[in-house]
Copies of this chain bind each other. A is one copy, B any other.
Amino acid sequence: MAVVIKIVVCILLFCVAYFDVVQPAHQQITGRYELGSMEAATVGAPWPMPQKYDVMQTYMFIDKSNFEFPVIAKTCDLLEDAIARYYQIIFATDHESRSKRSLLNRERSGASVVMTKTKMVSSTKDSNNHGQLKNISIILTYKCEEYPSMNMDEQYEIKIDNWDNPGEGLLTSDSIWGILRGLETLSHIIHEADDGAVRVNSTFIDDFPRFSHRGVLLDTSRHYLPKSILLENLDVMAYNKFNVFHWHIVDWQSFPYQSRVFPDLSRKGAYNEYTHIYTQDDIAEIVEYARVRGIRVLPEFDTPGHTLSWGAGRPGLLTLCYADGRPDGTHGPVNPVPASTYDFMRRLLAEVVSVFPDAYVHLGGDEVNFGCWKSNPEINKFMQKMGFGSNYAKLEEYYIQKILKIMETLNHGSMVWQEVFDNNVTVGGDTIVHVWKGGYQRELAAVTAAGHDALLSSCWYLDGISTTADWKTYYACDPQRFNGTEQQKKLVKGGEACLWGEWVDATNLLARLWPRASAVAERLWSNEDVNDVKTAASRIEEHRCRMVRRGVPAQPVNGPGFCKHEFAQ
């Protein structure tokens, strides 16, 4: 449906007499034995769908050895790096399965080789063939920013063999971030045709994201994730135009963050103090790898709950739980009473903002269990002194507000999970509230009515699994579909696909996350009216095979089927 709308728009704007959308690839099975349940993948369709996407039936072919990206821009290190990377992504597709197939063709049938050649020759006589495209100019008109940020400009424009520049290719943006997104789109629309040649259809794209915060949350505490997997995942995030890696770096189970000021935290709190940690060098490498792909790294240091692993390396930080009038040997949330707690948090967070260049830190604040606080005499004495009665939410508020204050003095923004808002903690207007529980529509309405920026994750907890096309439910969830004013809707900055780590490590992370998170990617990038699951099914099928071809173990998304180039380790 969305594609039809695009086509209508295209007719109106360009008055092209004859064109069509790209035909989907056909299954190998003949029509008479058509296999109804299998999705036919599109060919050369971008994911996520651009805001404005007009594609003609006419096309140009590209010869890898005679193709360039001429650059018209001031010096921009990110740009040079990106062009080299995308040249590789677009053309380094002659991998094993393809070579094997060519080899098989040759072995089995000389005729098929000749046939292919005939096709390529004949195709030059095809009236849709507009000849060879030898370059796509990259025009960066304005900003070469160093770091991606919440308000980064990601708009770009692509013109390939357009009415106003026939036979030419252009990618234009005011911002390096737009150029990065545009290169990714180019790497989708430049595709392998049936005859094995590389083609790009005559195309006009004007594109920008619907939401500015499009994140993937990974959890490196329940299971440690080696740096190599985090880097590879950043690649795949870029393939899907995600722009925030929310790094839930520590939690109850382990503390892999190696702190300079508090080295005991990982020394005693990591699964292994040597092998299961992130050194300052590791983090710098991950932040840099993300930066050059236009991805922010948003660290989360979740307190006062979810902190058991902090305790070993920082005696006195956690609340001692009591039973029968004495400590029972277990520990609860951070102890919000002593001044030493805030001194510790100040020094830790000061280090965190020096290590992670992002303007925000996620402070957690979810699922604080009041049971241990209730059992502790010191806590109760403090409650009395402060006049909190038996309202432990007040104590949580007391703690969180002191932490938010620390972030203010550090001149950084804060994000918090929704409980902080739900428990009536007074937070500054610039604090972003992250909605993750059920009943999210009511919650988004309340959070934005209170004037807070909001992020949505409730419907995108990808750690839940099933053997269904569950991407469709992620796809159907819209962060602005709640009762609220236009002004409220604008306060929703986006959302995040979350892959909590209880059942996920390097063995299965990429397969479990992709292409299911791709559904979230399109929801957060594309226009609200791009919501037809049926047409999306064919495109996500292609997109998953595109990722597979790039070496990503993105798992089957629509049930039985195949990729032209299967995954091979």
Is B105 a contact of A38 with CB atoms below 8 Å? no
- Closest chain B residue, CB of each to CB of A227: B568
Cβ–Cβ < 8 Å partners of A28 in chain B: 254, 270-273, 276
Cβ–Cβ < 8 Å partners of A27 in chain B: 271
Q: Contact mask A434-470 → B, CB, 8 Å, 1/0?
A: 0000000000000000000000000000011111000
Contact of A508 with B508 at beta-carbon distance under 8 Å, contacts A28-B273, A562-B224, A566-B226 already known: yes
- Contact residues on A (Cβ < 8 Å of other chain), bracket: 35 or more
Which residue of B32, B223, B270, B553 is within 8 Å of A556 (Cβ)? Answer: B223
Is B465 a contact of A507 with CB atoms below 8 Å? no
Cβ–Cβ < 8 Å partners of A32 in chain B: 311-312, 329, 331
Cβ–Cβ < 8 Å partners of A35 in chain B: 252-253, 308-309
What CA separation (Å) do A273 and B101 show in the bound complex? 10
Question: Shortest distance in angstroms between A420's beta carbon and chain B's nearest beta carbon?
Answer: 25
Q: A211 interface residue, CB < 8 Å from B?
A: no
Q: A338 interface residue, CB < 8 Å from B?
A: no
Is A566 a contact of B505 with CB atoms below 8 Å? yes
Q: A422 interface residue, CB < 8 Å from B?
A: no
What CA separation (Å) do A547 and B271 show in the bound complex? 19
Is A312 a contact of B30 with CB atoms below 8 Å? yes
- Closest chain B residue, CB of each to CB of A464: B467
Question: Shortest distance in angstroms between A69's beta carbon and chain B's nearest beta carbon?
Answer: 30
Is A254 a contact of B511 with CB atoms below 8 Å? no
Q: Contact mask A309-343 → B, CB, 8 Å, 1/0?
A: 10110000000000000000101000000000000
Q: A18 interface residue, CB < 8 Å from B?
A: no
Cβ–Cβ < 8 Å partners of A554 in chain B: 507
Is A275 a contact of B100 with CB atoms below 8 Å? yes
Cβ–Cβ < 8 Å partners of A482 in chain B: none
Is A555 a contact of B104 with CB atoms below 8 Å? no
Is B507 a contact of A556 with CB atoms below 8 Å? yes
Is A309 a contact of B505 with CB atoms below 8 Å? no
Q: A222 interface residue, CB < 8 Å from B?
A: yes
Cβ–Cβ < 8 Å partners of A548 in chain B: 507
Which of A198-206, A409-417, A485-493, A496-504 lies at the binding interface? A496-504
Which residue of B38, B223, B268, B275 is within 8 Å of A560 (Cβ)? Answer: B223
Question: Shortest distance in angstroms between A41's beta carbon and chain B's nearest beta carbon?
Answer: 12
Question: Shortest distance in angstroms between A89's beta carbon and chain B's nearest beta carbon?
Answer: 19
Question: Shortest distance in angstroms between A424's beta carbon and chain B's nearest beta carbon?
Answer: 31
Cβ–Cβ < 8 Å partners of A108 in chain B: 274
Which residue of B101, B105, B271, B467 is within 8 Å of A465 (Cβ)? Answer: B467
What CA separation (Å) do A556 and B465 show in the bound complex? 14
Q: A1 interface residue, CB < 8 Å from B?
A: no
A window 486-541: CB within 8 A of B: 501-508, 511-512
Question: Shortest distance in angstroms between A38's beta carbon and chain B's nearest beta carbon?
Answer: 7
Is B272 a contact of A556 with CB atoms below 8 Å? no
What CA separation (Å) do A309 and B28 show in the bound complex? 10
A window 204-257: CB within 8 A of B: 221-224, 226, 228-229, 232, 252-254
Q: A561 interface residue, CB < 8 Å from B?
A: yes
Is A276 a contact of B562 with CB atoms below 8 Å? yes
Is A506 a contact of B567 with CB atoms below 8 Å? yes
Q: A304 interface residue, CB < 8 Å from B?
A: no
A window 539-569: CB within 8 A of B: 548, 553-556, 559-562, 564, 566-569
Cβ–Cβ < 8 Å partners of A309 in chain B: 29, 33, 35
Contact of A222 with B560 at beta-carbon distance under 8 Å, contacts A308-B33, A507-B567, A553-B507 already known: yes
Question: Shortest distance in angstroms between A537's beta carbon and chain B's nearest beta carbon?
Answer: 15
| A–B pairs, 19, beta carbons within 8 Å | A28-B254, A28-B270, A29-B254, A32-B311, A32-B312, A32-B329, A33-B331, A35-B308, A104-B274, A105-B274, A221-B560, A223-B561, A226-B568, A275-B564, A276-B566, A467-B502, A501-B560, A502-B556, A506-B567
Instruction: Known A-B contacts: A29-B268, A35-B308, A276-B562. Give 8 more (CB < 8 A).
Output: A29-B254, A30-B268, A223-B561, A253-B560, A271-B562, A275-B566, A463-B467, A508-B511
